[in-house]
Amino acid sequence: MTILIGYVPTPEGEAALEAGIAEAATHGDDVVIVNSGRRGATVDADLVDEPAGAELVARASAAGVDARVDRSLHGANVMDTFDALVESTGARLIVIGLRRRSPVGKALLGSDAQRILLDATVPVLAVKPAA
Amino acid sequence: MDVNAFLDGFGLVTEPQNLLYCLIGVLIGMLIGVLPGLGPAATIAILLPITYSIDPVSAIIMLAGIYYGAQYGGTITSVLLRLPGEASSVVTVFDGFALAKQGKAGTALGVAAIGSFVGATVSILGLTLVAPLIAGWALSFGDPEYAALALLGVLLVATIGNGNKLKAMIAAAVGLLLATVGRDSFSGAERFTFDSLQLTEGIDFVVVAMGLFGVGEILYNLEERHGKPHVPAAVANIWPSRKDLKQSSGAIGRGSVIGFVLGVLPGGGAVMSSLAAYAAEKRIAKRPERFGRGAIEGVAAPETANNAAATSSFIPLLTLGIPANASMAMLFGALLILGISPGPQLVEERPDLFWGVINSMYIGNLILLALSIPLVGIFVRILRVRPAILAPITALITILGVYTINNSTFDIFVMIVFGLIGYLMKKTGFEPGPMVLAFVLGSIVEDGFRRSMLIFDGDPTGFFTRPISGTILAAFVLVALWPAAKALLARRKTGSDDTSEPHVPAGHR
Amino acid sequence: MSDERTPSPDQDILAEIQAEVAQDLEEERPPSGGPSYQVVGALVALVVGVGGALLAYGYGLGTLRRPGAGMWPFVVCIAITLMSVGLLVAGRRLEDSERFSRSSLLPAIGLVTFIGLALLMPVIGFEIPALLLCVVWLRFLGGESWRSTAITSVVTVAVFYFLFLYGLRIPLPHLF
């Protein structure tokens, strides 16, 4: 089976990656590292470039896990990317990192994590970065 | 040179209000230089209505700041994202991005900022010394000279820019035609008004410019043309090392001179000079193969040159009243709005404005040098704001702005029509720039032509027998026929099998 | 234009760089429209030239000694006509146009909102039409989420309200 890991270059993303790889290693799953950018943005700080992506894949294979990076863009809702990937890979689990966000910030910007938790059709593993 | 007026100009610039507008101008300039989409000409066009509500000198200082500030901003995205924010920073991409990939983005930005500052300063010094001389010399110009000069200006802008020359010349000619709409100042006859009361006064330059540049570009940008989001390169250690500076000092020096000279020529401006400076560096380099792989000179030269050119392109505007490029045409229009007709008499009649604007550039460039490097991080952050969010804001500024000029909805509709024309022109490969420029210069050319015909007693050869106008017109003919002659020569050499015309694909903007 | 036949080293580098730049920019552009776009463009220019010349002739050419109101526009229109014919003949193969596609609908919708704002503003003030314009542009043209659409458009209109009416003291027609 496949595990989707929502990855962004932050401590939260790292935590998700670690947890996801560990999960995959114990159950013999392969991994899709989802690094999905917002369509229409000129610059997206959540993205990683090719070399950094290759490094992530290398880290997974060091743990004995087959991995690839998916860079499909998403529109207003990040679930579009995850839905499409769940569909195409038959993934059994989504791993994401949770960050602390103030109530105001969340009201203004919304929360990708919340959308995934509420709308995903497969189980979601939400992890927090080591404090 | 009138030293007192020069010093008074400094006094004027250092007034808090003018300093503030200078700061606002260069900040807006840097911002739009960073953001893909609107260029400086479009931005100045959109902000033209503001000149109605603030002090003339402050307004011009601010609008000028937008123009040269944009040259700084364009560098940042070229280096960090391989995405030229401005056309004049396109060549910077080659070596700038290569340096960024080697982890030397900071060095590239630092050298570019220093080069920009040096280039601009050299150019302002040149401007300070040369401009009054040219203005004094041009005082002897009569109507035939002005007609010829304006015509040459239109032609050079049309032929030197990007894209197909014939198309640009057609656009320019249509601009000349548009300038004739309204009541004829000689005979009082109404021309091309189609019995519309609003058109008898002619078409307002601001409305045309806001439509063709502003609305046209806004619509054009609406069409989804953005590629993938970029990953910004990390910026570390901005200050270039002594070795980097030493290596690029020659490039900065040559870039300043190339930029200054090309900036003065109509149609030259920042884009052309950055290309020329890059080419010059590559030509004299001992190891030209370094270029494109992260040669620091490849960043220093074009960035120095585009700022030098941006500055020196003020010379023809302030001394002859001939704008050298589209952005200068916007400033020309702004001056006309303020009831000031730029020309050789400007330095005598409005020394406050003349020296105020020139001296504001010393200050503006100091501000830019001080701000450009510390603000790099902020600008990259601003780039994260999606263009889709900024688009309705610019749209509203444009519509509400044009309305405020005369409190007239008719103006909005005229602007929309020209916006549509501008958009369609861009889609079919016609540049709106030459059209706006020709529109601005149209009445100068026509009035000059008609008064000259009176002077010459109906003999058009009079244009050629006067030394200055004759020389200018000879240059005109040379420039107009050069591409055709070259194509003909090329064809003759290769024979008749040459059916596919060689052409350079049009760049953007 | 690159002069391929006379290879002087000076020109080569500049031409090379220009071509490289043009190619770089070209990657970001949609496909070109082909000959029909060129022909239509040239024909429109031709119509402007001929129509303008006819009208200008009607205004009276006058004599060279005393040029009439129509003389200068007539000369310009003749130039437009000649150049358009030239373009029609020589420019069919140019690739500097851009094909209209589905996404060309976006500017069309944008244009309609411009017209709507211009029509509604004198009647009901600028606030509501401006808000509507923002909503259309953000949600439907820009693909923003409803949340970001609502926040951005309300804030934008509020800022414009205070900027124009209180900051710059420009009397825009307003409802509130």
Tell me, yes or no, whether B380 lies in a domain: yes
Contacts of B253 (CB under 8 A, 6+ apart): none
Find residue B53's DSSP bridge partners: none
Provide the pLDDT for residue B237: 67
Tell me, yes or no, whether B233 lies in a domain: no
Provide the pLDDT for residue B63: 93
Q: What would the pLDDT profile of B87-106 be if each residue is shown by its tens digit?
A: 788 888 888 888 888 888 88
**Helix (H) / strand (E) containing B106:** helix B105-138
Q: What's chain B's length in residues?
A: 509
A110 in C contact zone (CB under 8 Å)? yes
Residue A109: is its pLDDT beyond 80? no
Residue B257 — pLDDT band, cuts 50, 70, 90?
very high
A39 in B contact zone (CB under 8 Å)? yes
C164 in B contact zone (CB under 8 Å)? yes
Chain B residues close to C50, C-beta within 8 Å: none
Q: Which of B201-205, B288-292, B387-391, C107-111 is the most confident on average?
A: C107-111
Find, in chain C, the residue whose alpha carbon is nearest to that of A78.
Answer: C145
Looking at the predicted complex, does its ipTM rise above 0.90? no
Q: What would the pLDDT profile of C99-134 be if each residue is shown by its tens digit?
A: 888 888 999 999 999 999 999 999 998 999 999 999
Tell me, yes or no, whether B497 lies in a domain: no
Using only C-alpha atoms, chain C has a radius of gyration, in whole angstroms, of 25
Residue B501: is its pLDDT beyond 60? no
Residue among B53, B173, B507 minimizing CB distance to C22: B507
C150 in A contact zone (CB under 8 Å)? no
Provide the pLDDT for residue B500: 41
- Please give the Cα distance from B217 to B209 (Å, whole number): 11
Look at B72-86, B116-130, C12-26 and tell me which has the smallest mean pLDDT: C12-26
Contacts of B271 (CB under 8 A, 6+ apart): B87, B88, B90, B161, B162, B306
Look at B56-60, B498-502, C26-30, C47-51 and tell me which has the smallest mean pLDDT: B498-502
A-contacting residues in B 345-404 (Cβ below 8 Å): 380, 383-384, 386-388
Picking from C166, C131, C165, C167, the residue whose alpha carbon sits closest to that of residue C151 is C131
Secondary structure tally for chain B: helices H, strands E? 23, 2
Tell me, yes or no, whether B354 lies in a domain: yes
Residue B172 CA: distances (Å) to CA of B45, B94, B217, B482, C41: 18, 33, 18, 18, 15
Written as one letter, the residue type at B16 is P
Tell me, yes or no, whether B495 lies in a domain: no
Q: What's chain A's length in residues?
A: 131
C28 in A contact zone (CB under 8 Å)? no
Average pLDDT of every residue of chain C: 84
Provide the pLDDT for residue B230: 77
Provide the pLDDT for residue C78: 94
Find, in chain A, the residue whose alpha carbon is nearest to that of B227.
Answer: A40
- Please give the Cα distance from B143 to C112 (Å, whole number): 45
Domain that holds residue B311: 3-228+240-490
- Please give the Cα distance from B435 to B157 (Å, whole number): 10
- Please give the Cα distance from B363 to B495 (Å, whole number): 57
C103 in A contact zone (CB under 8 Å)? no
Quick check: A76 and C151 CB within 8 A?
no
Residue B107: is its pLDDT beyond 90? no
- Please give the Cα distance from B425 to B418 (Å, whole number): 10
Q: Where are the domains of chain A?
A: 2-127
Provide the pLDDT for residue C29: 67
Find, in chain A, the residue whose alpha carbon is nearest to that of B384.
Answer: A43
What average pLDDT does range B123-129 have in this prediction?
Answer: 92
Tell me, yes or no, whether B235 lies in a domain: no
Contact B239, B253 (CB under 8 A): no
Q: How many domains is chain B partitioned into structurally?
A: 1
All chains having 3 or more CB pairs closer than 8 angstroms to chain A: B, C
Q: What would the pLDDT profile of C48-78 be if each residue is shown by its tens digit?
A: 999 999 999 988 888 888 888 888 999 999 9
Q: What would the pLDDT profile of B364-379 be if each residue is shown by its tens digit?
A: 999 998 887 788 888 8
What average pLDDT does range B315-336 have in this prediction?
Answer: 88
B-contacting residues in C 40-69 (Cβ below 8 Å): 40-41, 45, 48, 52, 55-56, 59-60, 63-69
Q: What would the pLDDT profile of A51-92 be if each residue is shown by its tens digit?
A: 888 999 999 899 888 999 988 888 878 888 888 899 999 899
What average pLDDT does range B324-344 have in this prediction?
Answer: 86
Chain B residues close to A41, C-beta within 8 Å: 229, 384, 386
A43 in B contact zone (CB under 8 Å)? yes
Q: What would the pLDDT profile of B28-73 be if each residue is shown by its tens digit?
A: 999 888 887 788 889 999 999 888 888 888 999 999 999 988 888 8
Nearest CA-CA distance, residue B385 and chain A, Å: 7
List the CATH code of the domain at A2-127.
Answer: 3.40.50.620
Provide the pLDDT for residue B300: 93
Find residue A95's DSSP bridge partners: A5, A125
Counting Cα atoms < 13 Å in the Cβ hemisphere of B309 gives 33
Report, in this order, helix, strand and coil percent for chain B, each rounded to 5: 75, 0, 25
Alpha helices in B223-325 (DSSP H): 242-264, 269-284, 297-312, 314-315
B227 in A contact zone (CB under 8 Å)? no
Residue B101 CA: distances (Å) to CA of A43, B52, B77, B87, B205: 16, 46, 14, 22, 45
Quick check: A108 and C145 CB within 8 A?
no
Alpha helices in B265-296 (DSSP H): 269-284
Provide the pLDDT for residue B377: 80
Helix (H, G, I), strand (E, B) or coil at C80: helix
Does pTM surpass 0.95? no
All chains having 3 or more CB pairs closer than 8 angstroms to chain C: A, B
What average pLDDT does range C81-85 have in this prediction?
Answer: 94
Provide the pLDDT for residue B175: 94
